[in-house]
Amino acid sequence: IESHDVPYRDGMSVLDAVMWIRSHVDSSLAIRYSCINANACKECMVLVNGKTQYACTARLDANGTLVEPLANKRLVRDLVTDIVPPKERLEAAARLEEPRRQPRDLDRFMVD
């Protein structure tokens, strides 16, 4: 477990703290997110002091906050876990092998 001191501000989210660490301490720290403080994308889910929460809405505790990746998901890196179930991953990979256009459609792109 790594420990980082973050300049605390009242109302600061866990995502704010993680982004501060990425900007000032460890630029390689990985977390998945799309929105900030809006709880709209549902991508920043992590364990905060042992409870599953969204990093963008969970508030930082001035006395310390433990942030961990989700324990029930496959760890990709740092705080990033796999959000797609294995069956869906395999189905998506199988679809990539299918041609995107039918051969009859390709004729219009051919140049002599």
The per-residue pLDDT for range 61-98, each reduced to its tens digit, is 999 999 999 998 888 899 888 876 666 656 665 666 55
For the domain that residue 18 is a member of, what is the CATH number?
3.10.20.30
CA distance 40 to 62: 25
CA distance 62 to 71: 24
**C-alpha torsion angle, residues 40, 42, 45, 51 (rounded to 10):** 80
Encode pLDDT of 8-50 as tens digits.
999 999 999 999 999 999 999 998 888 766 666 778 899 999 9
pLDDT above 70 (res 112) = no
In a domain, 55, yes or no: yes
State the total domains in the chain. Answer: 1
In a domain, 91, yes or no: no
